[in-house]
Amino acid sequence: MRKNVIMGNWKMHFTVEETDKFLNKLIPKVKDAKTEVVVCVPFTSLALASNTLSGSNIKLGAQNVHFEEQGAFTGEISPNMLKSVGVSHVLIGHSERRIYFGESDETVNKKIHTCLKHGFVPVLCVGESLKEKEDGDMENILTNQIKNAFLNISSEDASKVVIAYEPIWAIGTGKTATSIDADNTISFIRKVVSSIYNKEISENMIMLYGGSVKPNTIKEQMSMENIDGALVGGASIVVEDFERIVNF
Ligand code: PEP
């Protein structure tokens, strides 16, 4: 039985003060949530958020990690730095990182290895662009992203990974994939995972949909067979919206 997970990705929003204010409003509103709740806050807010969230049912996520343990990597954040502030989940390969910051399938794979070594839940983001979708390349793109991401990951470790299917054309655009399309695509992703590992791992893997998820879309999305939760961007920085999504 797969659990449901709702994750917020705050992207580059909220100072430390704003983080504290937001979380103090959110905590009581989602305290009886039936799903796992995770917020991926900016690096500068992690330490504060870790304190504010302590004793709550909200888990702490980071939006990235460097694959090396330490060293001359100006501007990067190491796995031990994340561990020291109580991070449990790490977004890996978000399309904004792939598009604007040169994240490649190779670095995604390295980061997944690093996360698993350090006991973080890697949340692997995959998805096709509008052009790739229109050219009929979606399945190829997703297959490559997934096969490369799981390179040399054992089946035991693979079962700890969460996959977020996020069509790029739906992120921040207000255009959400229909629930049926999202479900079909995630079903396809399960087939790819099954071809790398086996049916059991693929059927037990938690898979989320992301892309303009809103309070009025979540219920139908969560009713689909293959969708176990949502990765929420814009609506996760509005307390009332995120609360309604969590308590769908
Ligand atoms: C995201 O950032 O992962 C995302 C899905 O954003 P939005 O919900 O704003 O489309």
Give the pLDDT of residue 173: 94
Q: Is 166 one of the annotated active-site residues of the chain?
A: yes
User: With contact defined as beta carbons under 8 Å apart, do 146 and 109 qualify?
Assistant: no
With cut-offs at 50, 70 and 90, classify the pLDDT of residue 230. very high
**Among 94, 231, 238, which is best to mutate for testing ligand 1, by the most ligand atoms less than 8 A from CB?**
231
Give how far Cα 158 sits from Cα of 38, 141, 163, 197, 219, Å.
Answer: 20, 20, 10, 8, 28
pLDDT of the residue at 35 = 98
Q: What is the pLDDT of residues 55-96, one digit of tens each?
A: 999 999 999 999 999 999 999 999 999 999 999 999 999 999
Mean pLDDT, range 105-129, rounded to an integer: 98
Length of the chain: 248
Catalytic site residue from 89, 94, 103, 132: 94
Give the distance (Å) from ligand 1 centre to CA of residue 174.
9
Give the pair of three-digit tokens for residue 147: 């096969």
Atom of ligand 1 nearest to the CA of 213: 8
**Beta carbons within 8 Å of 85's beta carbon, 6+ residues apart:** 46, 47, 50, 60
Q: What is the CATH number of the domain that holds 12?
A: 3.20.20.70
Tell me if residue 94 is catalytic. Answer: yes
Distance, in Å, from the CA atom of 107 to the CA atom of 98, rounded to the nearest integer, reads 10
Q: How many CA atoms lie within 13 A of 204 on its CB side?
A: 12
* pLDDT for 41 beyond 90: yes
Q: Atom 8 in ligand 1: which residue has the minimum CA distance?
A: 233
| Block residue for tokens 């769908």 | 248
pLDDT band at 1; cut points 50, 70, 90:
confident
Atom of ligand 1 nearest to the CA of 94: 3
Average pLDDT for residues 104-132, to the nearest whole number?
Answer: 98
Interhelix angle 138-149/179-196, nearest 10 degrees = 40
* Residue listed under structure tokens 């949502």: 230
Give per-residue pLDDT as tens, 170-204.
999 999 999 999 999 999 999 999 999 999 999 99
- SS3 for 186? helix
Residue 220 clears pLDDT 90, i.e. is over it: yes
Instruction: State the average pLDDT for the chain.
Output: 98
pLDDT reading at 39 higher than 90:
yes
Cα separation, 213 vs 115, whole angstroms: 26
* Domain interval for residue 38: 5-246
Query: Averaged over 13-42, what is the pLDDT?
Result: 98
Query: Which of 141, 84, 88, 144 minimizes the C-alpha distance to 115?
Result: 88
Which two tokens mark 137? 């390349």
- Contact by Cβ (8 Å): 2, 204: yes
**Token pair belonging to 205:** 């893997």
Q: How many domains does the chain have?
A: 1
Structure tokens at 202: 């693929």
| Spatial contact of 212 and 171, defined as CB atoms under 8 Å apart | yes
Question: What is the Cα Rg of the chain in Å?
Answer: 17
